[in-house]
C-alpha cells in the first residue's frame, strides 16, 4: 500500500507504509489499536511507528438509533509531536422499511 500519511498538515511519509489494526468488542465495549508503520522513513530511513491510536468506546442502541461514545488517544512515538485526545459521540439511525 502506498499511502501519504498527513497529520496536522505535516507529511510524515511519502513512502509505503503498513497500517495494522486490532479491534476487540464484547457486550457493547469496543477496544481498538491502530498504527501507521513506516517501511522506510524519508528522513531517517528507519522502520518505525510515527502514529499509534488507541480507542475505547461503548456502543448501545436507544430505541431506533445506535449510539457510540468513547475516547481516542492519538500517540506519536518517534516524533516530537505530543499525544492528543478526542472524546466522541456518534448517533446513527436504524430505520427499517416503512409500512
Give residue-wise pLDDT tens across range 38-76. Answer: 887 666 677 888 899 999 999 998 888 889 999 999 999
d(C-alpha 5, C-alpha 13), whole Å: 6
d(C-alpha 41, C-alpha 47), whole Å: 6
The model's pTM: 0.74
d(C-alpha 31, C-alpha 36), whole Å: 17
The pLDDT of residue 13: 60
Q: Which region among 9-13, 24-28, 77-81 has the lowest average model confidence (pLDDT)?
A: 9-13
Closest CA to 17 of 29, 35, 32, 43: 35
The pLDDT of residue 11: 52
State the DSSP H helix or E strand holding residue 89, giving kind and residue range, or none if neither: strand 84-93
The pLDDT of residue 2: 43
- Sorting pLDDT into bands at 50, 70 and 90, what band is 1? very low
Cβ-contact 36, 79 below 8 angstroms:
no
Amino acid at each position: 500500500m502506498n499511502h501519504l500519511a498527513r497529520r496536522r498538515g505535516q507529511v510524515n511519509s511519502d513512502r509505503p507504509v503498513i497500517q495494522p489494526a486490532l479491534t476487540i468488542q464484547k457486550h457493547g465495549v469496543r477496544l481498538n489499536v491502530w498504527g501507521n508503520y513506516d517501511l522506510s522513513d524519508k528522513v531517517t530511513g528507519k522502520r518505525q511507528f510515527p502514529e499509534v491510536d488507541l480507542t475505547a468506546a461503548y456502543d448501545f442502541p436507544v430505541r431506533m438509533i445506535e449510539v457510540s461514545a468513547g475516547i481516542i488517544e492519538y500517540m506519536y512515538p518517534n516524533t516530537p509531536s505530543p499525544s492528543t485526545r478526542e472524546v466522541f459521540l456518534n448517533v446513527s439511525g436504524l430505520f427499517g422499511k416503512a409500512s
